[in-house]
Structure 1
Amino acid sequence: MIKCRTAQECGKADFGWLQARYTFSFGHYFDPKLMGYASLRVLNQEILAPGASFQPRTYPRVDVLNLVLQGEVEYRDSVGNSTRIHAGQAALLSTQPNVSYSEHNISNSKPLTRMQLWLDACPAQENPLVQKIDLGDHKHFLLASPSGEENSLQLRQQVWIHHINLQPGEQQNFSINGPRAYLQSIHGQVDVQGGDKHAKQTLVCGDGAFIHQEQTLTVKAITPLQALLIDLPV
């Protein structure tokens, strides 16, 4: 099964300093049927105004993955660590109990556009507090994984996250590790085909798709495409 979750169906916020689209329940947006998907708790697409910031806050035990699409951001924590990432990079924060984290658009003239994912973290595993990676322009690469294989970011959960960057007409085939996955179009239109010829959807910019009980997946770009495939066995 492949079921589309369109950008128009997502929760939305416009606070002036922040514009956001929420795939799952978050903040003021609440849908009891959309509290996450397997270990994927949050998938937000957000724009912070120049100079805007999220004030310090604590997190549940999650890994927070941020992909910067435009601008530059600085993350700070209450124990004195800080890191900056810019467009074309991603950072993974292994959040800790009793540590607060803030986020700052360090430009006073340009907005910050980014995607943020929260993934449940195994309580017994400890990873580096901050990991960074360049997204690059590869057609496909493994962005994050449980073991940090292929120089990917290391998660505290059995999840594999693939970054996809295709030109029109190009396609990529994937084997899915478990019963569930989620595909998110960041930019561009894409055809998604499961192993069953009837399991097919077309997504446009900002759309996502719940993938269930599909062992293989074919992603074909209709327009220039940037996307994430989140493989969620747990």
Structure 2
Amino acid sequence: MITTRTAKQCGQADFGWLQARYTFSFGHYFDPDLLGYASLRVLNQEVLAPGAAFQPRTYPKVDILNLILDGEAEYRDSEGNHIRVKSGEALLLSTQQGCSYSEHNASKDKSLTRMQLWLDACPERENPLIQKITLSGDKRQLIASPDGQQNSLVLRQQVWLHYVNLKAGEQEEFQLHGPRAYLQSIHGSFHAQTGAQEKAHMTCGDGAFIKDEAHLTLVADTDLEGLLVDLPV
């Protein structure tokens, strides 16, 4: 089953220095039916104005994945760690109790556009505090997984996160690990098709809940950039 959630249905925010679209309840945007999906707590696409910053704050025990779509960001924590991440790279922060984290747009004249996901972390698992990966530009790339397979980022959760980059007319098939997944279009339009031949059309900014499907095929109508979050538990 595929249940789409269009970009227009998502929560919206415009604070001047920050423009945001929220898939799930976040900040001022609250929907009791959309508090997350399996271990996926947050999926936001946000644009920070030149020089804008999120001030230091603490988090629950989550893995925070930041996918930089345009611009360059700098991240710091209260332990003295800091790192810069630019367009075409993804950063994974493993939040720790008592540690605060900040983020700011490293450019004074260019906006920063990024997608951010929070995934619940298993209490008994640990991983590197800061990890970074470069997007390969391949049709599909496993960018995060529980065990770091295929040189992916290591998560503290049973989740497999794929970056998809298809040209118009191309297609790619995925075998899912369990009954749930979430699909997010970043740029472009495509059709998602399940093994039961159910189809859904999605375009820029749209998402979809995938339930009780073992296989998923994506067919690009235009050049496509997207994420598939495989959430078996």
Give me the TM-score of the superposition, normalised by structure 2. Answer: 0.99
Kindly provide the CA deviation profile for residues 47-77 of structure 1, in whole angstroms up to 9, marking residues without a partner as x.
0000000000001110000000000000000
CA distance in 1, matches of 2:125, 2:176: 24
Matches within 5 A, 1:108-127: 108-127=108-127
**Aligned partners of 1:230, 1:126: CA distance in 2, in Å?**
20
Structure 1 residue identity aligned to 2:80? G
Secondary structure, aligned partner of 1:8: helix
* Secondary structure of the structure 1 residue equivalent to 2:27: coil
Amino acid at match of 2:12: K
- Structure 2 CA distance for aligned equivalents of residues 97 and 149 of structure 1: 27
Q: How does 1:150-229 map to 2 (within 5 A)?
A: 150-197=150-197, 199-229=198-228
SS at match of 1:3: strand
The answer for the alignment partner of 2:78 in structure 1 is: 78
Kindly state the Cα deviation for residue 233 of structure 1 after the two structures are TM-superposed.
0.5
Distance in 2 (alpha carbons) for counterparts of 1:182 and 1:104: 28
The aligned counterpart of 1:104 is 104
| In structure 2, distance between residues paired with 1:189 and 1:22 | 20
Which position in structure 2 is the counterpart of 1:57? 57
Q: CA deviation digits over 1:108-141, x for unaligned, max 9? A: 0000000000000011111110000001210101
SS of aligned partner of 2:226: strand
CA RMSD of aligned residues (A): 0.4
Partner of 2:44: 44
Matched residues in 2 for 1:46 and 1:202: separation?
23
Aligned to 1:27, the other structure's residue is in SS state coil
Residues paired across the two proteins, number: 233
2:12 match: 12
1:230 match: 229
Deviations 1:144-190 (A, max 9, x none): 00000010000000000000000000000000100000000000001
Contiguous gaps of at least 5 residues in structure 1: none
**Distance in 2 between the 1:108 and 1:87 partners?**
16
Hey, what's the Cα distance between the residues in 2 that align with 1:124 and 1:176? Answer: 25
The letter of the residue matching 1:140 is R
> What percent of counterpart residues are identical?
67
Code of the residue aligned with 1:113 in structure 2: it is T
Separation in 2, partners of 1:132, 1:158: 19
Q: Which residue of 2 aligns with 1:145?
A: 145
Structure 2 unaligned blocks of 5 or more: none
Q: Is 2:136 aligned against 1:136?
A: yes
What is the TM-score with the length of structure 1 in the denominator? Answer: 0.99
Would you identify which runs of 4 or more consecutive aligned residues in structure 1 move more than 4 Å?
A: none
